[in-house]
Amino acid sequence: MKKILVLGAGYVARPFVDYILENSNFELIVADVDVQHAQRVTQNRERTYVEALDIRENEKLEGLIGKANLVISLLPYEFHYQVAQACVKLKKSLITASYITPEISALDTAAKDAGVLILKEMGLDPGLDHMSAMHIIDKIKRDKGTIISFKSYCGGLAAPEANTNPWKYKFSWSPRGVLKAAQNGAKFLAENQILEVLNRDMLQQTDLLQIGPFDLEAYPNRDSMPYIDRYGLQGIETLVRYTLRFPGWVKTMAALREIGLADDKMVSVSNELGRSELLRTLLNIPVSDNLLNVCRQRAGEYWDKEVAERLTWLGLFDDELEKVSTKQISAMDYLVSRMIKTMSFAENERDMILLHHDFLFTKNGAAYRWESTLTEFGIPGGASAMAQTVAFPAAIAARYILEDTINLTGVHLPVLPEIYNPVLEELQHQGMVFSEHIKKMPNNT
């Protein structure tokens, strides 16, 4: 019986394992540094095994890879090159949901020589966004259309009934990852001009838009330029990939940056301090200065009533004692700890995923807009929408690789019809269906 090795037992592992057990006869080995995490994922079900693995134990890693027919890495992205090298060496295919890197790309020839597939960016964003976009791009091209503009939007949010705090946000994955991503700059193509935006200028590039019943803000996400070639859109005038949030997020992230709350510098602290005293220590604010006033001054133009309410609601300015488990922490560590305590989903609350594509194209002298939207909600008391939309594309790909439905070698993204067609079809069977609308635009558009 074929085996899949699952590296990492975090947010995404459970729905991945559930899908494979329900839709195949493959066995699963779930390996994690904490074997109890792996056991929570497998729940001692048939065809599942658990292993304790410290990823730094390369010999043990290779031993586990050797037992499997395919590997899915749900580890942090910095470990994927090590895993990819081992997979190529042992001639095992690999899937990850994280962004491709130059080091992984450089393994293409070796992977082909080994007869294995390294499939990157096989989650939600990146992943499902690529596949759903390529489905439309290839359809427009087959119909002899010319794509003028492509804007892609994706965000993990709280469902309306769970959107209950001043931040208008709750965490369905790592708060640290969310905060770090919010400090990135961006590069994209807008009306034939390549724009590079520093993080400090992101607010000026933030747009308000409505998707269905939701009023949102969108800001450019990382570097969109490589996707011109990856999507085969040479000659396009505009291409931007956006992150979606409810309004006020970008300004708040800018305020956090200016205040120093996004700083990762380690600071020595006492084990137990009042929250406001701890904040003073981390931000190097003297006792003689008014804490709130200094934060307001540092935030400058980004400070407003909403930002003040959000920081106060987190309890950052309280005198309540805060126990610190380590002698050194950073301002971001403290912020993350407060967010985990106050901005996590309650047991029966749902998260929400919004993925939206907006294409402008011409055909036979007329202009058209094609909009495609996926709205997914988490299961109260079960898997989040974020976990499902990351896990299912990877799980389906794993199944189809082992069933020989997908037969590719080398390093790939899911932009080929051999990958996206069967995966999108199976996602529909799982209830993930895009709502699509095509309309003709006025002649002056």
Omega cis (within 30) before 160: no
Backbone φ, ψ for residue 268 (5° rounding): -75, 130
- Kindly report the CA angle at 218 between 214 and 219, in degrees rounded to 5? 165
Specify the pairing of strand 70-73 against strand 3-7.
parallel
The torsion region of residue 85 among left (phi > 0), alpha (psi -120 to 50) and beta comes to: alpha
Q: How far apart are CA 407 and CA 28, in angstroms?
A: 21
Nearest-Å Rg of the Cα atoms of the chain is 23
Domain borders along the chain are 264-340
Q: Could you identify the residue written with the tokens 């082909």?
A: 112
Joined together, the tokens standing for residue 412 give: 């790939």
Contact between 169 and 246 under an 8 Å Cβ cutoff? The reply is yes
Residue 385: what pLDDT? 95
Joined together, the tokens standing for residue 301 give: 């133009």
Q: Could you identify the residue written with the tokens 């590997």?
A: 71
* 3-class state of residue 412 by DSSP: strand
381, 375, 336, 332: which is closest to 357 by C-alpha?
375
CA separation (Å) from 371 to 53, 176, 431, 438?
44, 32, 19, 6
CA separation (Å) from 149 to 189, 239, 257, 360, 400?
9, 6, 32, 5, 33
Kindly give the confidence (pLDDT) of every residue in the chain, 445 residues in length, as a single tens digit, with 9 standing for 90 and above: 999 999 999 889 999 999 999 999 999 999 999 999 999 999 999 999 999 999 989 999 999 999 999 999 999 889 999 999 999 999 999 999 999 999 999 999 999 999 999 999 999 999 999 999 999 999 999 999 999 999 999 999 999 999 999 999 998 777 888 888 888 999 999 999 999 999 899 999 999 999 999 999 999 999 999 999 999 999 999 999 999 999 999 999 999 999 999 998 998 887 777 888 989 999 999 988 999 999 999 999 999 999 999 999 999 888 888 777 667 889 999 999 899 999 999 888 999 999 999 999 999 999 999 999 999 999 998 899 999 999 999 999 999 999 999 999 999 999 999 999 999 999 999 999 999 999 999 875 5
* Helical (H) or strand (E) element with 195: strand 193-197
Contact between 50 and 31 under an 8 Å Cβ cutoff? The reply is yes
Joined together, the tokens standing for residue 360 give: 């402008």
Joined together, the tokens standing for residue 339 give: 């967010």
| Cross-strand pairs, 366 | 363
Torsion of CA 314, 315, 321, 325, to 10 degrees: 20
Contact between 114 and 328 under an 8 Å Cβ cutoff? The reply is no
Backbone φ, ψ for residue 195 (5° rounding): -110, 130
Is 264 part of the annotated catalytic residue set?
Answer: no
Q: How far apart are CA 352 and CA 158, in angstroms?
A: 5
Start-to-end C-alpha separation, the chain: 57
**Which of 18, 32, 125, 129 does the annotation list as catalytic?**
125
* 3-class state of residue 149 by DSSP: strand
Query: How crowded is the C-beta side of 33, counted as CA atoms within 13 Å?
Result: 8
Q: How far apart are CA 200 and CA 222, in angstroms?
A: 14
Neighbours of 300 (CB within 10 A): 11
Neighbours of 234 (CB within 10 A): 7
- Kindly report the CA angle at 224 between 436 and 339, in degrees rounded to 5? 85
